[in-house]
Amino acid sequence: MVTLLSSNGTSRLDGARVDGGDLWIPISELAQLGWELRPEGACRGDVCVPIPKAREHDFVRDEAGGRLFNLTELAALRREPVVRSERGDVFAIGVASDERAALLRGGEAPDFALPDLEGRIHRLSEHRGKKVFLVSWASW
């Protein structure tokens, strides 16, 4: 079992396998991530990412348990960063750098809400038009 963190949220991939740093999932689990494999390539809705014929073996392979799809190879093709935990039980796929740059050019951060130390909720949108300095840290 592998946990995947992506722009779609958090997904538990029960049939996932990690091989050489790559995350292979059963084709049947693509749907829970919003993807499907079609002759045109890996598709999400009407948008398809063509899989190069010469590299098809890097994306799809057959095993005794069924066909597997390489999510890390798809992320690389889409220029999305991928990180994984040391144990390989958690993978995170980020937003492609060109998409992230386009969001930053927009000049407005997405709204979010966080509690302060007393538990009061504060939203970024409450401070629109003002400079905001955010400090964060992680205990791990």
Question: What is the residue type of 11?
Answer: S
Q: What angle do CA 78, 80, 86 make, to 5 degrees?
A: 135
What is the helix, strand, coil percentage profile of the chain, to 5? 25, 35, 40
Confidence (pLDDT) at 89: 92
pTM score above 0.75: no
Predicted local confidence at residue 110, as pLDDT: 76
Residue 134 has a pLDDT of 81
Q: Which residues of 68-93 are buried (b: 16+ CB within 10 A; e: fewer)?
A: bbbbbbbbebeebebebeeeeeebbb
What is the chain's pLDDT, residue by residue, as a tens digit (140 residues)?
899 998 888 999 999 999 989 999 999 999 999 999 999 999 998 989 999 999 999 999 998 889 999 999 999 999 999 999 998 899 999 988 777 777 777 777 778 888 888 989 989 999 888 888 888 787 87
